[in-house]
Amino acid sequence: MAYQWTRTLRNGISGNDVRELQIRVAGYAAATSSRTHITVDGQFGPATEGAVRRFQASYNLSADGVAGPQTHTALNNLEAADGSTRHFNWSEFHSRDGSRFSGGAVSATQVQENVRRLMYKLEAKRRKLGNIPLTINSGFRSRSHNSSVGGASNSQHLYGSAADVSSSTTPTRKANTARTCGFSGIIIYQTFTHVDSRAETTGGGYYWP
């Protein structure tokens, strides 16, 4: 069921609906390469307004920074019926050892919420890359699975806030695009790009190549 927006959202107001808005426009944190992200605090300030403007422009809406009915519709068009997003599904992010979202650094419920937030950033990244499909090579990892693949002991994959992504474009192009999408961790590998939200999830600093 689509999120029920009950009012127009604009700079200066606050509430749980603002928090949901911030989650959904987080992938539009910057217009150019910038070490910044949208703080999901329920306070509609200049950063949120800027993200809304960029989201609106991407979807050919009037870029006024005010989230009214047309913006609400565009946001809900990205939402799938099961709470995932239009171009990504939960199973893509399940731990590869069959534990789904369990056995990580936080509860399965929190992992799923972190994955949901990650999905919206990836939706933005996908659109900015020209709507090319993105393949999730690795999403959430249980501690057991993370250990078996040699992951770092404090990996963001343990929180559900990281994804290793491949596509038809180059890892470098994906990384350059990710720098506008509010990701605080970016690592370029030969055939894929790692992105994560460590600054939000664990309060870590930025790690960019």
Cα 57 from chain centre: 19
Domain span at residue 136?
Answer: 90-201
What CATH number does residue 191 fall under?
3.30.1380.10
DSSP-based three-state secondary structure for 163: strand
Distance from C-alpha of 83 to C-alpha of 151, rounded to nearest angstrom: 28
Residue 81 lies in a domain: no
How confident is the prediction along the chain (209 residues), in pLDDT tens digits per residue?
A: 789 999 999 999 999 999 999 999 999 999 999 999 999 999 999 999 999 999 999 999 999 999 999 999 999 999 999 999 999 999 999 999 999 999 999 999 999 999 999 999 999 999 999 999 999 999 999 999 999 999 999 999 999 999 999 999 999 999 999 999 999 999 999 999 999 999 999 998 999 87
CA neighbor of 134 nearest in space, from 125, 145, 146, 142 = 125
Residue 155 lies in a domain: yes
pTM above threshold 0.85 = yes
Q: Is residue 185 located within the same domain as residue 95?
A: yes
Distance from C-alpha of 33 to C-alpha of 172, rounded to nearest angstrom: 13
Q: Is residue 62 located within the same domain as residue 106?
A: no
Residue 72 is among the residues annotated as catalytic for this protein: no
Candidates 37, 94, 157, 194; catalytic one: 194
* Residue 147 neighbours by CB under 8 Å, 6+ apart: none
Q: What is the radius of gyration, based on Cα positions, of the chain? A: 16
